[in-house]
């Protein structure tokens, strides 16, 4: 756990939506952070809204279904809060 916000690295994000979303989640996070870095990818043809993977190096990888940024398949508030807490 660390007091500083995790670094955000974007590998694929069509218009910056997911980077902005994750940065908003970081602002909403309470307490120490569980990860030193968040890596963002996104694309079509996903069977999920967002999938995550945690590495032993303290990196949280988030892969988003790209139509999510257009309002399709919005995460329920409980799931979004879970993502905020996971940071």
Instruction: Give the domain ranges of the chain.
Output: 7-77
- According to the model, what pLDDT value does residue 73 have? 57
What is d(CA 81, CA 71) in angstroms, rounded to the nearest whole number? 18
What are the φ and ψ backbone dihedral angles of 78, each rounded to 5 degrees? -65, -40
- According to the model, what pLDDT value does residue 74 have? 67
- According to the model, what pLDDT value does residue 3 have? 83
- According to the model, what pLDDT value does residue 11 have? 95
What is d(CA 3, CA 41) in angstroms, rounded to the nearest whole number? 25
| Residue 24: how many other CB atoms lie within 10 Å | 12
- According to the model, what pLDDT value does residue 65 have? 86
Q: What is the mean pLDDT of each run of 10 residues along the chain (87 residues)?
A: 89 90 91 93 87 91 83 72 87
Question: CA 49: distance to chain centroid?
Answer: 11
């Amino acid at each position: 756990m660390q007091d500083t916000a995790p670094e955000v690295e974007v590998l694929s994000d069509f218009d910056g939506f997911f980077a902005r979303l994750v940065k908003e989640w970081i602002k909403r996070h309470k307490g120490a952070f569980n990860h030193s870095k968040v890596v963002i990818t996104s694309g079509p043809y996903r069977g999920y809204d967002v999938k995550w993977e945690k590495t032993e190096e303290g990196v949280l990888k988030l892969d988003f279904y790209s139509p999510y940024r257009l309002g399709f398949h919005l995460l329920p508030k409980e799931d979004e809060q879970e993502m905020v807490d996971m940071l």
